[in-house]
Structure 1
Amino acid sequence: MLSFFGAEKDKERIRNASRNLYDCVYIFVSSTNTIFRMLNQFLGTELSINTVRENLSIKENLQLLVSALREMQEIVESKDKEIQQKVSLPLYSKIATPTPSVDERIKTLRDIYAQYKGVFENICGPISAVLMKHGNLPEKLESAIRDLSNSPVLALRVGDLLMTHDEIAKALPYTPSPGSSQTKSTEARPRSQSINNTNFSLTNFMRAAIRGQTSKKDSPNPVELAAGYLEEVVKTLKPVCESFQKTVKIAEEYVSLIIDKLY
């Protein structure tokens, strides 16, 4: 009965983790596209809009996104240098490290607008560029991919995350981790204790039988392993995903304030 509930729990873990990972991939792309549209509109860039390719692996999708983000980063860093030459350091610092206070943000924007009205045609572009430059989005995503370089989950196609828990478990390799009890019991087993030893005895037989039962009991099944693999990836990618969303949210809030309060 306990093993049944354990198996059901592992299946639920796979369902939750695979859905979270699927959503995460789409949020990465959606957030990036929001940024690109913003920069295309206010800076006149021509950044291409991205799509999730469900027939490609998770890793391939994320690497394509990193390439697109690098292109964006080059643009905003160049624009950021230009802005630093035109805007006073105190005001620039307030943009680069935005305060949560809406009133403070409005005050900063009004100061920039008043002092540099003739310098910038529209301050939405410069503000967005500074925020994106300091968001360090490509670096964050690249770092996460490196941390997960040994995970078999990244080799799954994005569309595979919509498969059943059994199909996902079968798609991932069944390889116990080096520290697992199964590996330890195999490596630690001396030859003299094998039941095939010529010096067979009832004691040796019982020891071997107990070892076999313990190894079988402690060894994780493919569904349990798959759940662990998926949860590890979600644990690494989700904070980066949330960082993307936060950066986009701040940029959108600034643009809304500029349009509503200054123009």
Structure 2
Amino acid sequence: MTLSLAFSPCPNDTFVFHALAHGLVPGTPDFAITYADVDVTNTAAERGGYDLVKVSYAALPWLLDRYDLLPCGGALGRGCGPLLLTRGDTVDLTAATVAVPGDRTTAYLLMRLWAGRRQPARIEVVPFHEIMPGVADGRFDAGLVIHEARFTYPRHGLTAVVDLGQWWEQDTGLPIPLGAILARRGVVDPAEAASWVRESVRQAWADPAASRTYVLAHAQELEPAVVDQHIALYVNAFTAGLGDEGYAAAEALLGRAAAAGLTPPVGPLR
């Protein structure tokens, strides 16, 4: 049996899934790997496109009818939230065109919750790597960025108007639930899949050098120092297991979003 597995080419995902993708976790099936930005995986998962897939927590209300949330392998944390960037110090959102990495990403949902009634005039969904150059050259008034952009945005001459992760943490006291791992119901046993992912995470931490070539090959020309920062920030205790705090963070995000009419309601996540 071959299962389809999709995750991003970002360093945290390739680090976490190196062992699983390379047949180093005992007792697993073969995997057909797809590397794609989260906006692509969010959309494909809505069609049941992958057996195991990394998606945004914000997309779960449209996916939990066909997928089970795994308690490990995802991206949650503190100090790792999305940033809203501009070329200056301020932006009038109500008159702005804002580039976002996906309309069902956690980043976009956090921005909508933060903005309240001051929603952007226009939203453009563009590939993640085009956002900062697009803001810098004036195609967009502001850009919503994730991942390694928090380390590299000053190189583009950009300013962070708000750190949405910091806002979320101050408002809720909870970590930011960014990316989740899902297993397709009826195809993959979630408990078994969770054991595979936990073992892949364990091997990643036990021998970080083993995945180095693989991670750098997919790192979109990031220098090694930025790759190391990225992994250190996004691969943490919540990657090994959500725990009570991780589940509380995800339920708080989706509960607030449903209460604001931004997403359909969901039930308990475990």
TM range (shorter): under 0.3
Which structure ranks higher in relative contact order (CA pairs < 8 Å, sequence separation ≥ 6)? 1
Between Structure 1 and Structure 2, the one with more strand by share is: 2
More helix by share: 1
Computing the radius of gyration from Cα coordinates, the structure with the larger value is 1
